[in-house]
A and B are shown apart, each in its own frame.
Chain A
């Protein structure tokens, strides 16, 4: 059971907008930044969003992040087939640990 809660799956058709939610608590999302990662099987995870809503250089602006209270969301607009991957949220927890969500498998139909 992960500390951060994500839906196990999400899906959309090419060109659609999809959102993935991440729910936590006051000790993690509520008081610290949220990060989002994209993970393709057999590869290194990739940082997509840092500090709630910032994109590293090279990440398309189709990806956006937001945070409100103890929840956060990742939105992907203009969905493309190459976006099919597992997505994880993460945050520092005041119990002195990094916590991850259980991951959301995104399928592009």
Chain B
């Protein structure tokens, strides 16, 4: 059974940092692209970042470029999102999503339950 499980969310002060993790199981992690998608309170889904199957290519939404860094450890079947200089507008539930192929397409066939990040003083 395919599972993706996010962790690392929590309350952080403005300007602070947080690293999210996504543990994957039930599929060959190293052959699929992965993404982070977030949903701010009362808002819709917003794609944040993606990484190719082997990690050689990374992609970012303009809203987080230079602020967030996506990475993966295929030996540990884990996806990461390093978030720096956090702002109130980064407050959201962050979902880890598996793409259906090795490059990002937007075809997210499996999602985690999400982890809540709250940026507040």
> Which residues of A approach B to under 8 Å, CB–CB?
2, 32-33, 35, 37, 39, 43-47, 50-51, 56, 86, 88, 90-92, 96-103
Contact = CB atoms under 8 A, between A and B. Distances in A.
A91 B7 CA distance: 27
Given A44-B112, A90-B47, A98-B59, 9 more contacts: A32-B106, A43-B113, A45-B97, A50-B109, A97-B47, A97-B62, A98-B35, A100-B46, A101-B44
Nearest to B113: A44
6 contacts: A2-B44, A32-B105, A37-B45, A44-B114, A101-B44, A103-B44
B6 to A, nearest CB: 10
A45 B73 CA distance: 24
Contacts, number: 69
B75 to A, nearest CB: 26
Given A45-B111, A50-B100, A98 B106 contact: yes
A91 B106 contact: yes
A46 B110 CA distance: 7
Give chain B's interface residue range (CB within 8 Å of chain A). 20 to 34
Q: Give the secondary structure class of B's interface.
A: strand
Interface in B70-121: 95, 97, 100, 104-109, 111-114
Q: Closest 3 interchain pairs by CB?
A: A103-B44, A44-B111, A98-B47
Contacts of B106: 32-33, 35, 90-92, 98-99
B50 interface: yes
Contacts of A46: 111
A35 B111 CA distance: 14
Contacts of A32: 105-106
B61 interface: yes
Contacts of B112: 44
Contacts of B61: 97
A41 to B, nearest CB: 10
A96 B106 CA distance: 11
